[in-house]
């Protein structure tokens, strides 16, 4: 099992624990350029930044291309590609659409797993989405849970590292 940490744009990097993998959220209303810059700062202090790429928070392919390009130029090696918020602000409504652009080539890709399901997606649609995204993904990231049985059941259904 690998441990990681998720931070926001306002996180004080001088107070981070010795964990190497640091996921950076891109919340609705925040700017992708700020996330890319935070990733650059993390690289400078020896961390492995993993910026979030939430499909429904990215306006169009030009914005996605700029965001991915900035991250790659700064030395980012890994990305978490997710659906993101409720309502799309632009052309993308699913993480699968981001993969289909081909822009993530050369990056290690994580996708979100939901051992306890998701309030936004039915279990059957969630299962289909996992199957559709697996060809693009290197690993699955899940939230931390207090109960082990949902995680054990989830892992038994996956063919990627969790």
pLDDT at 59: 96
Contact present, 148 and 120 (Cβ < 8 Å): no
pLDDT at 118: 80
Q: Can you give the pLDDT of all 162 residues of the chain as single tens digits?
A: 568 899 999 999 999 999 999 999 999 889 999 999 999 999 999 999 999 999 999 999 999 999 999 999 999 999 999 998 778 999 999 999 999 999 999 999 999 888 777 877 888 888 888 899 999 999 998 876 667 776 767 677 776 555
Dihedral sign, CA of 1, 155, 77, 32?
A: negative
pLDDT at 145: 64
Distance between CA atoms of residues 49 and 1, nearest Å? 18
pLDDT at 1: 59
pLDDT at 86: 76
Give the helix ranges, DSSP H, for 45-160.
Answer: 61-74, 95-100, 123-133, 149-157
């Amino acid at each position: 099992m690998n441990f990681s940490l998720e931070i926001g744009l306002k996180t004080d990097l001088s107070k981070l624990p010795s964990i190497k993998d640091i996921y950076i959220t891109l919340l609705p209303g925040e700017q992708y350029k700020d996330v890319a810059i935070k990733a650059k700062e993390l690289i400078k202090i020896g961390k492995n930044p993993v910026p979030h790429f939430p499909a429904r928070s990215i306006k169009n392919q030009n914005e996605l291309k700029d965001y991915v390009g900035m991250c790659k130029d700064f030395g980012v090696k890994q990305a978490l590609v997710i659906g993101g918020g409720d309502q799309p602000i632009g052309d993308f409504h699913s993480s699968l659409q981001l993969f289909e652009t081909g822009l993530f080539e050369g990056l290690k890709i994580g996708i979100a797993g939901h051992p306890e399901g998701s309030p936004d997606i039915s279990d059957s649609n969630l299962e289909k989405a996992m199957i559709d995204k697996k060809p693009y993904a290197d690993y699955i990231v899940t939230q931390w849970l207090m109960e082990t049985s949902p995680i054990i059941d989830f892992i038994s259904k996956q063919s990627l590292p969790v």
